Amino acid sequence: MAYLGLDIGTTRCKAGIFDSDGQLLVSASREYGYSSPHPGWAEQDPLEVWELAKEILKEVAQKTPVSPRFLSISTQGEAVIFLDEADNILRPAILGMDMRSVEQCMKLASEFGQDQLLAMAGVPLHPITSLAKILWVKENQPDIFAKTKKFLFYEDFMLWKLGGIQVIDYSMACKTMLFDIRSKEWSPQILDYLEIETNQLAQCLPSGEIVGKVDKKMADELGLPEDLQIVSGGHDVCCAALGSGSVVRGIAADVIGTAEIFSLPVDDYRVVLQIEPHSFSCYDHVIPGKYMLATINQTAGLLLRWYRDTFRIETLKEEIEKGISSYQILIDRAKVEPAHIFVLPHLVGSGTPWIDPLSKAAILGITLNTDEGEIIRAILESVVFEQKVSIELFEENGVFFNEIRAVGGCARSPFWLQIRADILGKPVSSLVFEDASVLGAAMLAAFGGGDFSSLEEIAQGWVKIKETYFPDEEKHKFYQERFEVYKELYPALKEVNHKI
C-alpha cells in the first residue's frame, strides 16, 4: 500500500510517496517565488504554483515502485485566489505574509470586535487573514471584486485543479476568518458583511475524509492511477505538527520554514481566550477532536532568504556547484559563539504576541568589531528569541511542554537547532524525515483510506527521531540575560517604526 502527500508551501512545493510503514519511496520538490510590488505586499501566480505542483506529481509518479492509492494535500494558509465566471484568475494570489490590509483590520475590529472574531474563528484579527485581504480587494479593486465568482484558497484550488472538487477542510477554513469554529460553517455574519454568497466558497469538511478522485485526464497527464482517491487535507502547519508526532500533550511542534509556528495540541479551543494578549491562534486541527494552539512569527527562514538574496546572491551559484544548500553555506559563515548584537526580525511586521504589521526589522549594537559572522549568528538567534516571547506567555498561563519536535526547512541545520535548545532551555529533536508537512499529508491519506484506526497509531509507527539537542546550561544562562534585553527591543522601537 502507498500514499501520496503533496505540500504547497509559501515558496516551495513538495511531494512524497510513502509505504504503509511510513518509509519514503520517492520525493520531488520545486521552488517558486513571490513578488512584492509595494512595501508590505506579497503576491504569487497560482498558475505557476500549479504547473510546478504538476511537475513534481509527474516526477514521483514516474519514479515510484508502488502506485499510491490515496492522496492528501497540505497547503499554505490565508492566501486568496479570485476567479471569474469563466474560472479565469483575476489577479495574483495575495499571500499570508502580505500586510497591506491594516486599515481593513481596524474596520473589522470596529464592526465585530477583536475578541468576538477570535472566539468565532479561533484566529486573531490580523492583516494576514483572508477576510482582511478580501475586504481590501473589495474596497481598492472593486472591479475585480465584482467579477469574482469564486474565492479559493490553495487547498480547494488544488483539489479543483486535480479533480474538480470544491472542498476545504476545517483547519484551512479557520485560517480565512470567514469560518465559525463553533458551528463548523461559513459565518453568515461575515459573508453578509462582505456581500459574498456561500456558493462562492468551497464546502467545509473535516480533514481525513475521502472527497473524490483525480480526474481521468489529469491522471493520464501526470501518470497517476485513475482510481487515485483524494482525502481532505489541512493547513500546512497542522500537517507538519502531525508529521512531527505532536499528537499528545507535552510534545510541541516547531514548524520552522519561511515563517515559524510553534504549536501544541489541545482539547478546547477556548484556552486561547485565557492567554493575554488575545493574539494567539487556537483552531481546528487535522487530528479529530483536537485544536491547535499556536504562535506565529512571519519572519523565520524568510529573514535568512532576504539576507541571501540581498547580500549573498552568489551562494545560489555555490549551491549548484557544491551541491550544498545556499542557506547552509550562510549558516556555516555564522559566528560559533553567541552574538553580542541583536536583530529584531520584523521583516514583514511582527507576529505574536504583539501583532504589529507596522513594526520593522532592525540590527542593533553594531560596532567596528562586528563582522558578517556575528550578523548571521544574530539573525539565527533573533528568530528563536522572538518565539521565546510567546512561549513564555504560554507557560505563564499553564500551558506546558517538555519536548520540542523541530520540522521544516530550517530544522535541517544542527547548528540552528542547538541555538534553539540553548535559548529555549528545552530538548529539541530533529526527525528522520524532515519535511513533516508532506509526511503529515500522507498520514491523512492513509487515515482517510481506512487502513489505520487513528492518526495517533500512524504517528507512533511513522514518526522517527533523528537526533535530540540538549541545552548547554552555561549558554542558556547567558541567553536568559540576553533575552531580558531582547524583550525591550520592540517596545523601544515601536514608536519610531510607526513613524517610519
Task: Tell me the pLDDT tens digit for each residue of 441-490.
Answer: 999 999 999 999 999 999 999 999 999 999 999 999 999 999 999 999 99
The CB-side HSE value for 66 (13 A sphere, CA atoms) comes to: 15
DSSP calls for 385-406? HHHHHHHHHHHHTT---SEEEE
Beta bridge partners, 468, equal 429
Cα–Cα dist 65/73, whole Å: 21
Cα–Cα dist 471/493, whole Å: 30
CB 238 within 8 A of CB 285: yes
Cα–Cα dist 500/302, whole Å: 22
Q: What is the mean pLDDT of each run of 10 residues along the chain (500 residues)?
A: 95 96 96 91 96 98 96 97 98 93 96 96 93 98 98 98 97 98 97 98 98 97 96 96 93 91 93 93 96 92 94 90 90 96 95 91 97 97 97 91 91 95 97 92 97 95 96 97 98 96
How does 478-489 read in b/e, with b if 16+ C-beta sit within 10 Å? ebeebbeebeeb
Residues 6+ apart with CB under 8 A from 499: none
Cα–Cα dist 78/186, whole Å: 15
Fold that domain 2-244 belongs to in CATH: Nucleotidyltransferase; domain 5 (3.30.420)
The whole-number pLDDT of residue 119 equals: 96
The whole-number pLDDT of residue 202 equals: 98
Q: What grid cell was written down for 46?
A: 497560482
The whole-number pLDDT of residue 343 equals: 98
List phi, psi (to 5°) of 24. -75, 125
The whole-number pLDDT of residue 398 equals: 87
Sign of CA dihedral 377, 379, 382, 384: negative
User: Could you count the other beta carbons within 10 Å of the beta carbon of residue 388?
Assistant: 20
Cα–Cα dist 211/233, whole Å: 10
Cβ-count burial of 119 within 10 angstroms (0-12 exposed, 13-18 middle, 19+ buried)?
A: middle
The whole-number pLDDT of residue 254 equals: 95
Beta bridge partners, 72, equal 5, 231
Q: Given the C-alpha cell 481532505, which residue does it identify?
A: 232
Closest CA to 405 of 426, 375, 425, 378: 426
Sign of CA dihedral 290, 202, 437, 272: negative
Cα–Cα dist 16/74, whole Å: 12
Cα–Cα dist 68/76, whole Å: 23
How far CA 356 is from CA of 10, 126, 319, 347, 381, in Å, comes to: 21, 9, 35, 11, 21
Cα–Cα dist 404/429, whole Å: 6
User: Could you count the other beta carbons within 10 Å of the beta carbon of residue 274?
Assistant: 12
The whole-number pLDDT of residue 402 equals: 92
List phi, psi (to 5°) of 27. -150, 165
Cα–Cα dist 348/302, whole Å: 9
Closest CA to 64 of 14, 117, 125, 16: 16
> pLDDT digits over 133-151, tens only?
999 999 999 999 999 999 9
Would you mind telling me the total number of residues written for the chain in this entry?
A: 500
Q: At what angle do helices 473-499 and 414-424 cross, to 10 degrees?
A: 90
